[in-house]
Amino acid sequence: MAAAEVRVWAAYGGLLVVLTGATLLVPVPEEFPRVTQTAVAAAERVEAAVPPLGLEWGPLRGWTRVGDGWELAWQPDHGMWLVRGWADDAGDMVLWRLEAAPWLPGARLSGHAAALMAQSESSWMVPMERTGRRDWSFGEAQLVGALPGGTKLPEASAVSGLPVWEAVLAGLVLAGALSRLLVPPFRVSQWRARILAALLFSAVGLPWSLPLSARFLEAGVRPWVAQAAFVATAGVLVGAVAIASLQFSPSGGAPPSVLPLLAFPLGLLLGRQASMPWVVEAAAVPARLFLWLGFLVVVSWVVGLAGEGLRELVAPEGVFRRFLLVALSLPVVMAAGSMRGLILGAVLAASVGRGQGTWIGLAIGWGWLGGLLLSAHGVFPAFWPVALFLAAGGAVSLTLHIAGVRQSQVLTL
């Protein structure tokens, strides 16, 4: 490679670094606060703050994000009880709750005995006995059998409104699948291999992703039942995506010459301004690298497919189509929320030729996922994998840009 060509690629790399640094300086909205502690650190706080319960907690089974804190779950192998704890990110509050199986043996307590056992100070409060069980409720204080059951934990906020933008993305994907079915593209075996390899990585990482099954745990049910249900559900989803990717695989086409260099920092900016609790939960499991890689390739395929669907829906060619796509991108940026990264990626994929949209999806999806992880993790030990992940995404985007420039030069000659 000539020295002049090296200087050109170094200039492109410097431009990418400048654009990426500029997106990192954009302030994150206050409604999307960073996570300031890991799930394991939150579990240690709960174990240190909760008084002895007179029983074995069992191992830590998993975690979920609820509000501005972590909800942790402990359960022994027999599953007869379940201990849940919640620790906020600020380090000011720790709550806990004990749930027991309704069929556990023991004498039913009277209301007076239950009040004494629960040490309820609200003498005026009428206790409520839960039908068919040995539990008593005193407002937020509860008694499970003969054991104090703790307090009520925070609940996840309900999603308000209809998932409009999710439905829009699903419609574009359906339109893209229909276009590939009616007008079969020149399919590239390399893309098929990439998608199947990424899905295989995700499937291999499922046994190490069992902490994500914590929300399915129940008192009285062995924990392996919830874990098996989680693995089976995820396995069916992976299999469905694999079959769909084979039927509607990406078409051939060289990467576009300019957009990958801009799509990565754009996805990074949009990801930092989004909030998805499941990404934070998945980033805390040991198999997060498998999940990230699988998610990336699937996102690139989905964005490319949605872009082809949008290209067919916006039939006119030339300047008018680009003007219409720019007009469509404005409401996406303003109102799409956490989905704006994927839908705007579909708009960019619709602006390039057929077969090039998947490369756009790879670049913007890498930046979008990196932005989500970066905005979620404010703890330094959890930051270095995200930094490496972002560095790899920048290198991939630069490589796509170089390949697109070289291809355009060859076509020009």
Q: 107 pLDDT band (50/70/90 cuts)? A: very low
pTM, two decimals, is 0.77
Over range 100-105, report the average pLDDT: 70
- Report the b/e string of 78-116 with b at 16+ CB within 10 A: ebbbbbbbbbbbeeeebbbbbbbbeebeeeebeeeebbe
pLDDT tens digits along 73-94: 999 998 888 899 999 887 788 8
Q: Is the pLDDT of residue 189 over 80?
A: no
Q: How far is 84 from 73, CA to CA, in rounded Å?
A: 5
| pLDDT, averaged across the chain | 76
C-alpha 122 chain-centroid distance? 42
First to last CA, the chain: 19
**Contact assessment for residue 356 and residue 252, using Cβ atoms and an 8 Å cutoff:** no
pLDDT tens digits along 56-79: 888 999 998 888 888 999 999 988
Over range 385-413, report the average pLDDT: 69
Q: Is the pLDDT of residue 47 over 80?
A: yes
Q: 186 pLDDT band (50/70/90 cuts)? A: low
pLDDT at 225: 92
**Contact assessment for residue 401 and residue 255, using Cβ atoms and an 8 Å cutoff:** yes
pLDDT at 99: 83
Q: 224 pLDDT band (50/70/90 cuts)? A: very high
Q: Is the pLDDT of residue 377 over 80?
A: no
pLDDT at 53: 73
- For 13, the enclosing helix (H) or strand (E) is helix 3-24
Residue 404, SS3 per DSSP: helix
Contacts of 286 (CB under 8 A, 6+ apart): 208
Orientation angle between helical segments 340-350 and 357-376, nearest 10 degrees: 160
Check residue 355 and give left, alpha or beta (phi > 0: left; psi -120 to 50: alpha): left
